[in-house]
Structures are given as structure tokens and as C-alpha cells.
Amino acid sequence: MVAGLFVLALGAQAQEVVRHAIPGSSFPIARAVEIPPDATVVYISGAVPSVIDETAEQGSADAYGDTEAQTVSVLQSIEGTLADLGLTMGDVFKMQVYLVAPDGADGMDFAGFMDGYTQFFGTEDQPNLPARSVFEVAGLVSPAWLVEIEVTAVRPPE
């Protein structure tokens, strides 16, 4: 009887989110993430950049900044949404990123994106890494936007 109660108690303990690193790599994404069955998954809609230069022409690329500035703006917005839900960037386990090539560029500015991304993920203060995909797209709703990001977060069981 006591052994049976012990097994039930172990089964009732909250399981942890498991993040698998990419073997032999320091690239700041997870190879895979396992979510325990008793956790709540929270889907955050795609977030887009905010105006960072009010003096620039409305709707212009200058109003929103370069890829790095837009990435930071978007991730700050996501951080605020997560905080409103009682979550943090450390709870993000999946990310999908849509990048547009800046005017005159041959392709998306992945380096600029990474410069913004690494301010939020893989840091000493926030080491949790999401599984992530990055896509180059032809455009977003506003022609001045270079970045849109959607995330999926986990609310660990209490």
C-alpha cells in the first residue's frame, strides 16, 4: 500500500519542459523541446514592429528601423504580451520568424535578426532557447515592416 502511494505521488509531480541542445553547436536555438502533458500551451499571435522614430515619415522604413531594431521592437512587444499572461520569454518554446529583405538587399538580413534575437534568448539572464524557424517572405502587411514573429509558450503545471 505504501509503495503504491509513493508511485502515485511520483506520478502527480509536475514534469519539466525539456530543451534539447544542438549537439556540438553553440547556435542559440533548441534542437527540440518536450512539453509535459499536464502543461498548458499558449499561442501568441504574430507581432509586428512598433514605430521607433516618431519624427520619420509615417509608414516609412525609417519610422520602424532596420531588421535588428524591428526584431527588438517585436520581441519587446511579445515580452509584454507574455507578462500580461503571467509568462516570460523563458516560457517560449517555439518561434516562427518571418523576415523581409530590406530595400536594395539581395535577401533577408539574418545577421540583423540574430543581433536582436540574442538580446532576449540564450543570455545569462534568460538561457532558455526555443525551437525556431526563420522564413524569408516577399512582404508583410506594411511595406515598411521587415519582421513578424509568432511564438508558442508553455505554462508549466502548478
Confidence of residue 1 (pLDDT cuts 50, 70, 90): very low
pLDDT for res 13:
53
Contact 17, 33 (CB under 8 A): yes
Partners of 149 in the β-ladder: 47, 97
What's 39-155's CATH class?
alpha beta
- Read off the pTM: 0.90
Residues 41-83 pLDDT 10s? 999 999 999 999 999 999 999 999 999 999 999 999 999 999 9
**CA distance to 17, 34, 80, per residue, from 153 (Å):** 11, 12, 13
Domain regions of the chain by residue span: 39-155
b or e along 113-131 (b: 16 or more beta carbons within 10 Å of the residue's beta carbon)?
bbbbbeebbbeeeeebbbb
Interval 92-112 mean pLDDT: 98
Cα(first)–Cα(last) distance of the chain, in Å?
27
Q: Which DSSP state fits 91?
A: G
Interval 9-34 mean pLDDT: 84
Q: Pick the residue with more confidence: 13 or 156? A: 156
pLDDT for res 89:
98
